[in-house]
């Protein structure tokens, strides 16, 4: 869910989350490998944002409630925000409820329980990019200065999902720093037309609000692909061709759902807290067994290359039973050992089917 360009936030409050008319799916078990399962025992689901709303003056509670009731909206999360200073560096910070907001971050980040426990305790979290840029160290205390000033401990860093968002604080710290309540909202509406969704949101949020589409189904693949190469030009085409070649009995929408949930179609390549890598988030040990070279690639299979990773995922899923309707759920569970994950993949696959047939 990377967004091009930086978000500029203005200069207390809490983040809010509302399910859409149908409510969120029932929580179930925890994530895939033993390490991830232990780290994510309190985590239940992922929301994939379709639309980002930025309102410099802040969205009122009444507006947020109306946004959550738009036809097709599955869920909505809002956060406080401001552009403040971390030491001498200007950064964009969001004030969030950790247990609500984590479901809107990349899967590897959302399932890092230690990160969210630290944020809940009053520490702050940064993007991995900012941590590298400023040479920040977890456990050290840093001065954050907005309308108010606080010295907070860095709890950790990870991909936060939205380009231009540098750090997160919890709701209590948000109030202390004077962040603007409701400055940002993300909306998940996988079955809704983007045109209709944008029109309805604009009517409620008003003209000053900035609306940014976060859908990436047509995201271009890296490198020399497309016309004249014999290779797919987009992730959408890659999912379709990989399913057709390596698991003909499985709908391509299952691959598309897994690719979106695991990495945002290559936006977050890892490593995860368990060491998973690439657009389909393979563990190196699993990759050693199932990774293949495909679509005219040469050399050994590359875990970071979507032209190898997506077909390899199709091959693994098919071997686990995804080629039949009776075996599909079990195959998805084998890919990531969590009932909630199976439900998320199947629900998103249905949304792809509605949108693309």
Q: What is the pLDDT of residues 33-69, one digit of tens each?
A: 333 333 334 566 788 888 999 999 999 999 999 999 9
* In a domain? residue 190: yes
Q: pLDDT tens across 183-232, in order? A: 999 998 877 888 999 999 999 999 999 999 887 655 667 665 554 567 88
Q: Are 332 and 346 in contact (CB under 8 A)?
A: yes
| Phi, then psi, of 322 in degrees rounded to 5 | -70, -10
**Do 186 and 241 sit in the same domain of this protein?**
no
Range 140-160 average pLDDT = 95
d(CA 223, CA 17): 38
Structure tokens at 90: 């200007």
Co-location of 242 and 202 in the same domain: no
In a domain, 3, yes or no: no
Q: Name 208's Cβ contacts closer than 8 Å, sequence gap at least 6.
A: 55, 56, 57
What CATH number did the domain enclosing 263 receive? 1.10.530
Structural domain contains residue 308: yes
Is 60 exceeded by the pLDDT of residue 32?
Answer: no
Distances in Å between the alpha carbon of 250 and those of 239, 242, 314?
A: 11, 10, 8
Domain count, the chain: 2
User: What does the pLDDT read at residue 24?
Assistant: 31
Beta strands in the chain (DSSP E): 16-19, 51-54, 75-86, 89-96, 124-127, 141-145, 149-158, 167-170, 180-188, 210-213
Q: Rounded CA gap, 200 and 193, in Å?
A: 11
Same-domain pairing of 239 and 208: no
Instruction: Examine the fold and report which residue of 181, 213, 245 is the final residue of a domain before the chain moves on.
Output: 213
Domain edge (last residue) among 155, 178, 213: 213
Percent of the chain residues past pLDDT 90, beyond the cut: 61
Q: Percent helix, strand, coil in the chain (nearest 5)?
A: 35, 20, 45
Cα distances (angstroms) measured from residue 14 to each of 23, 55, 77, 79: 21, 16, 11, 7
Same domain, 194 and 329: no
| 176-189 per-position pLDDT tens digit | 999 999 999 999 88
Q: Which residue, of 145, 180, 213, is where some domain finishes?
A: 213
The answer on 37 and 150 residing in a single domain is yes
The Cα 158–Cα 297 span in angstroms is 31
Residues 329 and 246 in one domain: yes
The per-residue pLDDT for 162 is 79
Between 103-117, 234-248, 289-303, 319-333, the lowest mean confidence (pLDDT) is in 103-117
Q: Are residues 325 and 202 in the same domain?
A: no
- 89-136 pLDDT, tens digit each: 999 999 999 999 998 988 888 888 899 999 999 999 999 999 999 999
Query: Is residue 7 in a domain?
Result: no
pLDDT for position 44: 64
Q: Backbone phi, then psi, for 272, in 5-degree steps?
A: -75, 180
| Mean pLDDT computed over 250-279 | 88
Query: Using CA atoms, how far apart are residues 268 and 263, in angstroms rounded to an integer?
Result: 5
Got the DSSP string for 273-316?
TT--BTTTTB-HHHHHHH----TT--SS--TT-HHHHHHHHHHH
Give me Rg for the CA atoms of the chain: 20
Q: Does one domain contain both 139 and 259?
A: no
Residue 252 has pLDDT above 70, yes or no: yes
Band (pLDDT 50/70/90 cuts) for residue 9 is: low
14 pLDDT band, cuts 50/70/90, is very low
Q: Considering only 22-26, 210-214, 228-232, 329-333, which range has the smallest mean pLDDT? A: 22-26
Based on the domain organization, do 82 and 139 belong to the same domain?
A: yes
Identify the pLDDT of residue 268.
79
Q: Which two tokens stand for residue 350?
A: 């249905």
292 found inside a domain: yes
- The full 3-state SS of 24-48, as one line of letters, equals CCCCCCCCCCHHHHHHCCCCCCCCC
pLDDT for 39: 39
What is the spatial distance between Cα 116 and Cα 258, in angstroms, rounded to a whole number?
23
What span, in angstroms and rounded, lies between the C-alpha atoms of 194 and 214?
A: 10
Task: Say whether pLDDT at 303 is over 80.
Answer: yes
173 shares a domain with 136: yes
Residue 8 lies in a domain: no
pLDDT of residue 21: 38
User: Is residue 227 assigned to a domain?
Assistant: no
Place of tokens 């271009």: 220
What domain range includes position 140?
A: 16-213
Q: Are residues 127 and 199 in the same domain?
A: yes
Model pTM above 0.85 = no
Neighbour-count burial of 300, counting CB atoms closer than 10 A to its CB (0-12 exposed, 13-18 middle, 19+ buried): exposed
Most confident of 215-229, 298-312, 336-350: 298-312
- 64 and 97 together in one domain: yes
**Residue 41 has which token pair?**
């025992």
């Amino acid at each position: 869910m990377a967004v091009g360009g930086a978000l500029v936030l203005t200069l207390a409050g809490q983040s809010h989350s509302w399910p859409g008319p149908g409510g969120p799916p029932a929580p179930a078990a925890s994530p895939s490998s033993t390490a991830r399962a232990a780290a994510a025992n309190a985590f239940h689901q992922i929301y994939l944002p379709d639309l980002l709303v930025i309102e410099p003056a802040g969205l009122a509670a009444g507006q947020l409630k109306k946004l959550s009731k738009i036809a097709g909206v599955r869920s909505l999360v809002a956060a406080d925000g401001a552009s403040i200073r971390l030491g001498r560096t200007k950064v964009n910070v969001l004030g969030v409820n950790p247990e609500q907001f984590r479901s809107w971050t990349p899967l590897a980040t959302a399932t890092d329980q230690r990160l969210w426990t630290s944020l809940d305790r009053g520490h702050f979290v940064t993007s991995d990019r900012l941590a590298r840029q400023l040479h920040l160290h977890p456990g050290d205390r840093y001065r954050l200065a907005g309308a108010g000033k606080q010295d907070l401990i860095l709890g950790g860093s990870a991909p936060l999902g939205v380009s231009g968002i540098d750090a997160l604080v919890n709701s209590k710290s948000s109030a202390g720093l004077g962040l603007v309540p409701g400055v940002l909202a993300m909306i998940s509406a996988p079955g809704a037309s983007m045109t209709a969704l944008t029109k309805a949101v604009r009517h409620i949020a008003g003209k000053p609000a900035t609306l940014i589409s976060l859908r990436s189904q047509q995201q271009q693949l890296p490198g020399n692909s497309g016309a004249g190469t014999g290779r797919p030009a987009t992730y959408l085409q890659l999912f379709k061709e990989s399913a057709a070649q390596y698991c003909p009995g499985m709908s391509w929408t299952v691959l598309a759902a897994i690719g979106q949930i695991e990495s945002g179609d290559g936006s977050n390549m890892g490593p995860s807290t368990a060491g998973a890598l690439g657009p389909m988030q393979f563990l190196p040990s699993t990759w050693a067994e199932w990774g293949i070279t495909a679509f005219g690639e040469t050399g050994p299979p590359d875990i970071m290359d979507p032209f190898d990773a997506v077909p390899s995922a199709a091959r693994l899923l098919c071997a686990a039973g995804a080629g039949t309707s009776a075996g599909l759920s079990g195959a998805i569970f084998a890919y990531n050992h969590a009932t909630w994950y199976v439900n998320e993949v199947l629900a998103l696959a249905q949304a792809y089917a509605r949108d693309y047939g």
